[in-house]
Amino acid sequence: MRWIVKPLLWIACLTPLAILVGRTVRDELGANPIEHVTLFTGIWTLNLIVAALAITPIRRLTGWNRIIQLRRPIGLFAFFYATLHFLIYIVLDQFFGWSYILEDIMDRPYITVGFTAFVLMIPLALTSTKAAIRRLGRAWQRLHRLVYVTAGLGVIHFLWKVKADSREPLIYGGIIAVLLLLRLPVFRRRPRRAAA
């Protein structure tokens, strides 16, 4: 896990960033580069949220308990891409026009929902250390259930942004719904009975 799986996870999670940098260097961002990088980082935020939500169902269905060690780095990478997504909006799209940004957050529902999702991710990222887990105890688990809300808001943000073609955000919504259903007790892996 430490020497093979986790390094591979880091490589996998940083590959999208490398792809984006490569496209930028080669001037392959299309006619609207800001929209391209905004959409790209937003989609990878959702991809990683989905991956983080998949960890518990995989553990329950397979009995592979050590996979739980991957949930925290995946969640932090999701926050990393969400931060990039937000910074691209603030810096490249709005040029630090704080009055316009506040107006956007108040008046455009998909911006409001996206901003709310990002704000909810901040306490999750800040409390992802081992020290925070020990300090918060059971409250840590309750706090981190906010990821379900964040995932739902992320799908709504995507759905309201694309407007016309809703297939992709609806696919994300369906996958997240299935992953949440798989958390029900009925899907827990039952221990094998000892042979008589």
Q: How wide is the angle at C-alpha 78 spanned by C-alphas 38 and 104, nearest 5°?
A: 40
Question: 88 and 34 in contact (C-beta within 8 Å)?
Answer: yes
Predicted confidence (pLDDT) per residue in 28-53, tens digit: 998 899 999 999 999 999 999 999 99
> How does DSSP classify residue 184?
S
Predicted confidence (pLDDT) per residue in 158-194, tens digit: 999 987 788 999 999 999 999 999 887 766 655 555 4
Question: 70 and 6 in contact (C-beta within 8 Å)?
Answer: yes
Question: 143 and 123 in contact (C-beta within 8 Å)?
Answer: yes
Three-state secondary structure of 86-114: HHHHHHHHCCCCHHHHHHHHHHCHHHHHH
Would you state the pLDDT for residue 187? 64
Predicted confidence (pLDDT) per residue in 81-102, tens digit: 999 999 999 999 888 899 999 9
Q: How wide is the angle at C-alpha 165 spanned by C-alphas 163 and 168, nearest 5°?
A: 110
Helix axes 167-181, 146-162, angle to 10 degrees: 160
State the chain's mean pLDDT as an integer: 90
Residue 165 burial (CB count, 10 A): 8
Question: 87 and 79 in contact (C-beta within 8 Å)?
Answer: no
Residue 138 has pLDDT above 70, yes or no: yes
